[in-house]
Amino acid sequence: MISVFVHRAGQTVQAEAVDPAWLDPASGVTLWADLAAPTPEEAAILRSVFHFHDLAVEDALGSLEFPKIEAYDGYLYLILHGIDFTASRHQFTTHDTDFFLGPNYLVTVHDGQARTIAGLRDLASRNERIVGEGPTALLHRIVDAMVDHYGPEVDGLEDKLDALEDEVFSSPRTDAVKRILGLKQEVVSLRRVTMPQRDAIARLARREFAMIDTEMAYRFRDVHDHLVRLSDEALIFQDRITSILEAHLSNVSNRLNEVMKVLTIIATIFMPLTVLTGMFGMNVGLPRLPGGDVAQFWWVLGIMVTGSGLMLWWFRKRNWL
């Protein structure tokens, strides 16, 4: 689907198609063309009308590409990523949003899942400022909203880290390792999304391109600061997950040691009892204890209880129990 918005004489209207004459900066027109999941026929305007470079068009219509900015003759080509969290796969999934920024036009190409662009597209005809401020301001508006969408996902991830941390230290569960590794995958996905975009936006903030004036550079610098904070938070999350995993493994090891200590004490207590009952159970003559045949059982039982009590006393005295 192609959506075309034209701002001229203080008004923004939606057009049916792109007039090549609008691409001339002297036309006094600001143009925004949005291609949402375009068909091959719809995508043909990238070459036939806008005359973009074949390599840029190939990247725009291709699969997931690395975030980048490239300068071509008369326009900039940008690849940035929107974010969506897929809980079932424990990762932040991304979708490409490609931008072609010219002197008086902006072309966006995406797979139709861009929430930010969909919202601005619905408002463009009713709010003249969206397109009327110029293509660079429109680019900033889209990118800034895309980065703002990272916030709730990162806050949710931090809440899960807090809950998992409390659980590991208070009442660890057997499936904690699986959950910790799942959160680690989420953090790795977050870093993979934010760090390349941070570097790409930094080029806009540094005014490497003549198309970005000082005012727009300041705005992109603010977006860059948000991405830097997100990258730093991802590093902090990774350190926290490492600490949580180490604490969990330490707790499991301590619990195992406690269980092994109890089992060892039980085995140590029953070893002499087993020897004693085995000896008196043999069909050979043994020294008779006082009291006759009936008292033999009670003598053996008393020796067993006394021996067990002495061993328990000794273990507790040595702080083994």
DSSP tag of 30: E
pLDDT tens-digit readout, 22-81? 888 888 888 888 888 888 888 888 888 888 898 888 888 877 677 888 888 888 999 888
pLDDT tens-digit readout, 77-126? 998 887 765 544 445 567 788 899 988 889 988 887 777 887 888 887 78
Q: Of the candidates 35, 227, 235, which has an alpha carbon nearest to the alpha carbon of residue 146? A: 227
Top-confidence residue, 239 or 189: 239
Give CATH 3.30.460.20 domain extents, the chain: 2-251
Model-level pTM?
Answer: 0.72
Top CATH class of 258-317 equals mainly alpha
Q: What is the pLDDT of residue 76?
A: 92
Give CATH 1.20.58.340 domain extents, the chain: 258-317
Average pLDDT over residues 158-176: 76
Domain 2-251 has CATH 1.10.600.10: no
Residue 63 Cα distances to 79, 145, 188, angstroms: 12, 23, 21
DSSP one-letter string for 135-204? HHHHHHHHHHHHHHTHHHHHHHHHHHHHHHHHHHHHS--TTHHHHHHHHHHHHHHHHHHHHHHHHHHHHH
pLDDT tens-digit readout, 253-284? 777 777 787 777 778 777 777 777 776 666 55
**Residue 54 structure tokens:** 């074949």
